[in-house]
Amino acid sequence: MVIFYWISWGNSMINAGSITGSKSSGVPWKPCYAERMRGVQASEIRELLKIVEQPGMISFAGGIPDPTFFPTEQIKAAYNAILSDSTEASKALQYSVSEGDAELRSWIAGHMRSKGILCDVEHILITNGSQQALEFLGKLFISPGDRVAVTAPTYLGALQAFSPSQPEYATLHISEDGSVALEGGDTDSEDIHDALVYVVPDFANPTGETLSEVERRGILELAAERGMLVIEDSPYEMLRFDGIPELPLQALDIDGSGGIDASRVVYCGSFSKVFVPGLRVGWVCASREIISRLTLIKQSSDLSSPAINQRVMLHLARTIYDEQVVRACSTYRKKRDVMLSLIGEVMPADSRWTHPDGGMFIWVKLASEIDTRELLEVAARDFGVAFVPGQAFYVNNKGRDMLRLSYTLPSTDEIEIGLQRLGKAILAMS
Amino acid sequence: MVIFYWISWGNSMINAGSITGSKSSGVPWKPCYAERMRGVQASEIRELLKIVEQPGMISFAGGIPDPTFFPTEQIKAAYNAILSDSTEASKALQYSVSEGDAELRSWIAGHMRSKGILCDVEHILITNGSQQALEFLGKLFISPGDRVAVTAPTYLGALQAFSPSQPEYATLHISEDGSVALEGGDTDSEDIHDALVYVVPDFANPTGETLSEVERRGILELAAERGMLVIEDSPYEMLRFDGIPELPLQALDIDGSGGIDASRVVYCGSFSKVFVPGLRVGWVCASREIISRLTLIKQSSDLSSPAINQRVMLHLARTIYDEQVVRACSTYRKKRDVMLSLIGEVMPADSRWTHPDGGMFIWVKLASEIDTRELLEVAARDFGVAFVPGQAFYVNNKGRDMLRLSYTLPSTDEIEIGLQRLGKAILAMS
């Protein structure tokens, strides 16, 4: 047998310039980042929000689920069951396929069908929460300079997920009559490729509002006219407290296009708001063609999502999904009601706010000159209450007189106290 | 109180063209992908390897840990302990910080210090296995057309992680005397930016070989001369069966540059090979400056790794890390020895193979005209044994007479039977 050193197997070396006298000693290295990272910066507002971690703070800031109704006992039982079965344990702790656990994907396909989206297991990819799906879709569909249409305001995390792909953002204006238009991002230019439309149609982050069917159809028509992909980001959809569910854009488009494999809509879903966010399990539902591309991206990005967490989600989904939805909705409905019943007492006269039928957020426009970033500093530092300033949800520095309140994490008592504190902070700045 | 519809708040619309008569009905939509996806294609070899899943197959293909020594009982106990403490459970199931669990990062910093890398908690970021670290580093450091230097052969997954950032690959030639040269990727051009060097210095994937100190220093000098980042990907480092550990490139560079915050080396580590891969916990160790950028990328990519899995890894790391390393090494050493003792009987005369001191792989160069992709088809279909053809690890279609064998998953009996089958397949093709 011959021992050999692979690395010395010689091909002729084209540029074998000797490496001499270039020791790195003492010379600090300055990293040189890729062009695409220019758009990726620490958010000033996320820095401000570090103040939220102070003891005694009442936070309306993050869209954070209430841990008091996490199904902890069922989760513990699921881990125990999986890890007590040696065959299942070996699989759950091993590398697994990039597309995700087949049984979980199958459950999700059934869940999607119940929303009117005709699909099967091969139309589902598991991701680390829906955030990862957004990042993958940006990578797959956005070339530098492509146009991406978002509502104003929109979900901050979507902008962060897309920005490394270097889009130009245009604002999506949606009228109640279903007419939809784009503004900005040089919308008349034919040189710019229209890549995608991004919407959160149900209980949107940050506004809490839900698009009507006519508005949904308007978005689909705009997308069809311009040849765009539509990303339907719907993590809050199950958290409906009032009214009747709207059909997903994907269901409407499938009806028009003849099937999911011909559809331009990609649906992003999540277990984070119904069960728990800490297992990081979300999904994408799309045409087989798109799912196969996203699976390659998943493989190159992190091989797969944790197998064991997917198995736990499967246990929960099969056993307690519906009751958990009911529990979440009933808790959050009470909290929303408390916030809506008191908010008028603390906001400046003529301020306006949304009345969401579900989800986690109320969006406020202050009738006042107060800059809500400055308000946050005062409110958090001097009064012990936090929220997210509106500017975080705009690409163009708008929203300075707006703010987002989340009612899901604090108790109803804390909501009452927190709003009183917010009122005092507003008075202090007026 | 005024109920308002956010979406109809009008800014003047620049391009309000009415959307009429453009229903998507019946017209299947053709997706238009981003330019960067051209380099991301389904691997022909990964397709071939689907055959591995057939019953009765003995697989030397994937670098898959042996599940018989997964610490399943300890993992179960850790989940139980975390989920039985209501405060800890609430945290473990909730959203968590993007940089990862502070206590786990602190344990890892101590672990890195034991390797000679002077660092602290703020130099560590948790990722979903080290694969995710590679993808983040590609995004952060590679602009389209930048030069990335890799050994030939190199880890397939690294090529997949970098390719969406559109690098030009150059081959790193490393001589035993420590002289290092680049070949290909137009290495003389001054118009091309030299972005990074990627190496797996310990028990490399796919060769199983380990770089000596003089070779490591040669790589650092090349990188210093060309101003490049060095990615030290070291998932197998703890799996040393024989000999004495080499100092990590990062330790050598810190010694020369005056500290980790001035170092050009980024170290990627993983718990996948010592504990289990299915929890997907790895890390990056780098300067504070780079870690802060990677943390932003982590936030935009998937918010954070699953909090609960990080807490379980912390339990395992604190209690059984060393004994688990000993257990893995003793199991894998036996398997490597069995494979090395039998391989000479089945390979064509004058074939060569590596003799790794650790890790998971043996790399074989057949003294034969057989194309190893064709050999895989025959071996898997007709003889029930699988491996990875060498071509998978090259960017330029080389390696057709080479193959990678992993000895970690099959039992010693299966290794013996599998090699006999492989010998028969080679004979059948000769």
Walking along chain B (430 residues) 10 residues at a time, the average pLDDT comes out as 30 32 57 86 69 86 93 98 97 95 98 97 97 97 96 94 94 94 74 94 98 97 96 97 97 94 97 96 98 95 96 98 96 98 96 98 95 95 96 91 97 98 96
* CA A140 – CA A119 distance, rounded (Å): 21
For residue range A341-359, list pLDDT tens digits in order: 999 999 999 999 999 999 9
Is B123 within a domain? yes
Domain closes at, from B286, B304, B321 = B321
To test the contact with chain B by mutation, choose from A221, A257, A303, A402 the residue with the greatest count of B C-beta atoms within 10 A, namely A303
Is A107 within a domain? yes
Task: Judge: B276–A24 Cβ closer than 8 Å, yes or no.
Answer: no
**Given the DSSP bridges, would you call strands B229-233 and B265-270 parallel, antiparallel or unpaired?**
parallel
Residue in A327, A307, A348 with CA at minimum distance from that of residue A74 = A327
Is B364 within a domain? yes
Task: Judge: B306–A128 Cβ closer than 8 Å, yes or no.
Answer: yes
Task: Judge: B89–A70 Cβ closer than 8 Å, yes or no.
Answer: yes
Domain closes at, from A251, A285, A320 = A320
Chain B residues with CB under 8 Å of A221 CB are: 19-20, 22-24
pLDDT tier, A412 (very low <50, low <70, confident <90, very high otherwise): very high
Query: Rounded to the nearest 5°, which phi and psi values hold at A324?
Result: -70, -35
Q: What is the CA radius of gyration of chain A?
A: 24
Contacts of A145 (CB under 8 A, 6+ apart): A166, A167, A168, A192, A193
Cβ pair A151, A210 in contact under 8 A: no
* CA A215 – CA A173 distance, rounded (Å): 10
Q: Do A228 and A94 share a structural domain? A: yes
pLDDT tier, A187 (very low <50, low <70, confident <90, very high otherwise): low
* CA A73 – CA B291 distance, rounded (Å): 36
Contacts of A393 (CB under 8 A, 6+ apart): A152, A153, A154, A155, A156, A206, A399, A404
* CA A247 – CA A210 distance, rounded (Å): 11
* pLDDT higher than 90, residue A196: yes
Q: Do B371 and B279 share a structural domain? A: no
Task: Judge: B209–A161 Cβ closer than 8 Å, yes or no.
Answer: no
For residue range A132-157, list pLDDT tens digits in order: 999 999 999 999 999 999 999 999 99
pLDDT tier, A52 (very low <50, low <70, confident <90, very high otherwise): confident
Candidate from B184, B222, B257 with C-beta closest to A14? B184
Q: Residue B55 is part of a domain; what is its CATH number?
A: 3.90.1150.10
User: How many domains does one find in chain A?
Assistant: 2
Chain A residues with CB under 8 Å of B3 CB are: 354-355
Task: Judge: A7–B40 Cβ closer than 8 Å, yes or no.
Answer: no
The DSSP output letter for A286 is -
A282 has which bridge partners?
Answer: A127, A270
* CA B134 – CA A375 distance, rounded (Å): 40
Contacts of B281 (CB under 8 A, 6+ apart): B104, B126, B128, B129, B270, B271, B272, B305, B309, B310, B313
Cβ pair A65, A409 in contact under 8 A: yes
Query: Rounded to the nearest 5°, which phi and psi values hold at A332?
Result: -70, -30
pLDDT tier, A26 (very low <50, low <70, confident <90, very high otherwise): low
* CA B48 – CA B46 distance, rounded (Å): 5
Task: Judge: B19–A264 Cβ closer than 8 Å, yes or no.
Answer: no
Query: Rounded to the nearest 5°, which phi and psi values hold at B194?
Result: -80, 105
- CA geometry: angle at B347 spanning B344 and B348, to 5°? 120
**Given the DSSP bridges, would you call strands A180-183 and A194-199 parallel, antiparallel or unpaired?**
unpaired
A170 has which bridge partners?
Answer: A149
Taking residues A379-390, what's their average pLDDT? 95
Task: Judge: B5–A176 Cβ closer than 8 Å, yes or no.
Answer: yes
Cβ pair A189, A66 in contact under 8 A: no
Residue that is written with structure tokens 């979440």 in the block: A328
Q: Do B272 and B285 share a structural domain? A: yes
Provide the 10 A C-beta neighbour count for residue B382. 12
Give the pLDDT confidence score for residue B187 in this predicted structure: 63
- Asked if the bond preceding B206 is cis, omega within 30° of 0, the reply is yes
Residue B287, sorted as left (phi over 0), alpha (psi -120 to 50) or beta, turns out to be beta
Q: Do A262 and A124 share a structural domain? A: yes
- Compare all CA atoms of chain A with the CA of B174 and give the residue at the minimum distance: A7
Taking residues A86-97, what's their average pLDDT? 95
* CA B224 – CA B315 distance, rounded (Å): 39
To test the contact with chain B by mutation, choose from A296, A300, A316, A404 the residue with the greatest count of B C-beta atoms within 10 A, namely A300
- CA geometry: angle at B107 spanning B105 and B110, to 5°? 110
Chain A residues with CB under 8 Å of B155 CB are: none
Q: Do B420 and B292 share a structural domain? A: no
Provide the 10 A C-beta neighbour count for residue A227. 14
Is A213 within a domain? yes
Give the pLDDT confidence score for residue B7 in this predicted structure: 28
Task: Judge: B90–A76 Cβ closer than 8 Å, yes or no.
Answer: no
* pLDDT higher than 90, residue A175: yes
Q: Do B52 and B196 share a structural domain? A: no
* CA A318 – CA A357 distance, rounded (Å): 27
Give the pLDDT confidence score for residue A51 in this predicted structure: 72
Cβ pair B153, B207 in contact under 8 A: yes
Chain B residues with CB under 8 Å of A253 CB are: 24
The token pair at B128 is 């979903």
- Asked if the bond preceding A153 is cis, omega within 30° of 0, the reply is yes
* CA A220 – CA A372 distance, rounded (Å): 34
Task: Judge: A76–B86 Cβ closer than 8 Å, yes or no.
Answer: no
Residue in B252, B164, B157 with CA at minimum distance from that of residue B205 = B157
Task: Judge: A24–B79 Cβ closer than 8 Å, yes or no.
Answer: no
- Asked if the bond preceding B71 is cis, omega within 30° of 0, the reply is no
Task: Judge: B353–A303 Cβ closer than 8 Å, yes or no.
Answer: no
Q: Do B254 and B381 share a structural domain? A: no
Is A4 within a domain? no
Q: Do B347 and B260 share a structural domain? A: no
- Compare all CA atoms of chain A with the CA of B131 and give the residue at the minimum distance: A302
Query: How would you list the strands of the sheet with A402-406, edge to edge?
Result: A352-353, A361-365, A402-406, A388-389
Q: Do A103 and A174 share a structural domain? A: yes
For residue B420, the distance in angstroms to the closest alpha carbon of chain A comes to 18
Residue A251's identity, in one-letter code, is A
Chain A residues with CB under 8 Å of B218 CB are: 19
* CA B307 – CA B301 distance, rounded (Å): 16
- Residue B79: domain span: 72-321
Is B32 within a domain? no
- Segment among A4-8, A228-232, B200-204, B220-224 with least mean pLDDT: A4-8
pLDDT tier, A395 (very low <50, low <70, confident <90, very high otherwise): confident
- Segment among A34-38, A233-237, B335-339 with least mean pLDDT: A34-38
Residue in B178, B138, B151, B129 with CA at minimum distance from that of residue B310 = B129
The token pair at A366 is 């202050």
Is B15 within a domain? no
Residue in A36, A184, A144 with CA at minimum distance from that of residue B293 = A36
Q: Residue A156 is part of a domain; what is its CATH number?
A: 3.40.640.10
Q: How far is CA A66 from CA A274, A410, B282, B311, in A?
A: 10, 7, 29, 20
Chain A residues with CB under 8 Å of B132 CB are: 301-302
- Asked if the bond preceding B153 is cis, omega within 30° of 0, the reply is yes
Q: Do B425 and B387 share a structural domain? A: yes
* CA A427 – CA B20 distance, rounded (Å): 49
Provide the 10 A C-beta neighbour count for residue A120. 14
Residue B421's identity, in one-letter code, is R
A5 vs B387, more confident:
B387
Mean pLDDT, chain A, as a whole number?
90
Q: Do A203 and A99 share a structural domain? A: yes
Q: What is the CA radius of gyration of chain B?
A: 24
Q: Do B348 and B306 share a structural domain? A: no
Chain A residues with CB under 8 Å of B95 CB are: 62, 64, 272, 277-278
Domain closes at, from B294, B321, B348 = B321
Is A38 within a domain? no
Candidate from B139, B183, B258 with C-beta closest to A14? B183
Chain A residues with CB under 8 Å of B211 CB are: 7
Task: Judge: B143–A229 Cβ closer than 8 Å, yes or no.
Answer: no
DSSP B348-374: PTT-EE---SBSSEEEEE-SSS--HHH
pLDDT tier, A24 (very low <50, low <70, confident <90, very high otherwise): very low
To test the contact with chain B by mutation, choose from A12, A22, A24, A352 the residue with the greatest count of B C-beta atoms within 10 A, namely A24
Taking residues A243-251, what's their average pLDDT? 97
